[in-house]
A and B are shown apart, each in its own frame.
Chain A
Amino acid sequence: MGEYVYGIIERKNAPKNFNIKGIEDSDVYTINYQDLTAVASKAPMKEYEPTEDATEKHKQVSLHVLENYTVLPVAFGMVFKSRGILINTMRKVYPLLKKNLRLIDNKIELGVKTILPKDIEVFESKTGKSKEDYIKTCEEEFVNNLGKIAVQSKNGKLFSERLAFNKSFLVEKDKIDNFSAELEKLGNKYNPLKIQYTGPWPAYNFVDIKIMSRGR
């Protein structure tokens, strides 16, 4: 069995075990290296398909840990052959882990998707603007207003023609309410759009550490 990793947190005050089940219904515990600790559970060494159930499990563990800690997120499906290999990897990338943890310390990620109605012709006649013009105006205002509250933002993939934009924001934990209030205002102003607001998430889109493991 390998060590499936969900994320890295500061070791200080971290428990030995978390009260939640992980991938393959295994117990979730911590594996320490210096002042950091990996949140992990026992799992077979294999290529993990990102099925809805499996990704949901990964997400639930990450969110559970996020409630009390700043989590340096690890991508879905990262499994190490042994505890020793995991600790050795943490040792090799330790400075990078510390740097990224500092960057996201006390911050979380919030997702904002703005979605056009199904019937674009009706939408354009109601708003009196072309879809492109409407998106441009609205995107500018969203980025400007939300960007003042957030630390950083990133563009996500436009996986649907109905997506006006898809953005992730890195926000300090104590500014979540401000961010939500501002988003609500914008949502009311641009109400022909549907808004999908998600989070708080670990800062998946704001850390970029590539660690080679099985199949990677």
Chain B
Amino acid sequence: MVLVVDDVLTLPLAFAGIELLPNYFTIVFNALHKQALEEMYPLEKIQSAIKENRMEYELGEISKEEYEKTSKELNQKLSIAKKVKEMNLGVRTNIMDAG
């Protein structure tokens, strides 16, 4: 995902004589970044996928190895999704620390 934030965004505010806070762009960018991460790591979908994986294993449709591999991947994604959800836009969070 490529984001282009240029001066056009600041023009109406500049004409209105409003001084922008130094971290204005950081806030805008962080909000967009958080939204992008939430789309990449949708919490509910990941939780559902964990249950579906378990269901397929219990039905004997996948092997224990397949189940454990998928489960590990999904739980890592879940940890990231939870961190993204709790992400405070004013604070830098290392989401890759999860899992």
Binding site for B on A (CB under 8 A): 51-52, 113, 115, 118, 157, 159-160, 162, 194, 196
Pairwise interchain contact A160-B55, C-beta atoms closer than 8 A: yes
Binding site for A on B (CB under 8 A): 47-48, 51-52, 55, 58-59, 61, 71, 75
Pairwise interchain contact A160-B48, C-beta atoms closer than 8 A: yes
Cβ-neighbour of B51 out of A51, A118, A160, A194 (below 8 A): A160
Q: Please give me the residue from chain A that is nearest to B75 by CB atom.
A: A51
Cβ of A197 to closest chain B Cβ, rounded Å: 11
Task: Provide the bound-state CA to CA distance between A192 and B48, in Å.
Answer: 23
Pairwise interchain contact B59-A160, C-beta atoms closer than 8 A: no
Q: Give me 21 A-to-B residue pairs in the complex whose CB atoms sit less than 8 angstroms apart, sorted by A's number.
A: A51-B75, A52-B71, A113-B55, A115-B55, A115-B59, A118-B61, A157-B48, A159-B47, A159-B48, A159-B51, A159-B52, A160-B48, A160-B51, A160-B52, A160-B55, A162-B52, A162-B55, A194-B59, A196-B55, A196-B58, A196-B59
Cβ of B6 to closest chain A Cβ, rounded Å: 42
The winner among B47, B55, B58 for most chain A CB atoms within 10 A is B55
Using Cβ atoms and an 8 Å threshold, which residues of chain B touch A159? 47-48, 51-52
Other CB < 8 Å A-B pairs besides A159-B47, A160-B52, A162-B55, 7 of them? A113-B55, A115-B59, A159-B48, A160-B51, A160-B55, A162-B52, A196-B55
Task: Provide the bound-state CA to CA distance between A159 and B50, in Å.
Answer: 9
Using Cβ atoms and an 8 Å threshold, which residues of chain B touch A51? 75
Using Cβ atoms and an 8 Å threshold, which residues of chain A touch B59? 115, 194, 196
Cβ of B82 to closest chain A Cβ, rounded Å: 9
Cβ of A75 to closest chain B Cβ, rounded Å: 16
Task: Provide the bound-state CA to CA distance between A7 and B41, in Å.
Answer: 34
Q: Which 3 A-B pairs have the closest CB atoms?
A: A159-B48, A160-B52, A159-B51
Using Cβ atoms and an 8 Å threshold, which residues of chain B touch A157? 48
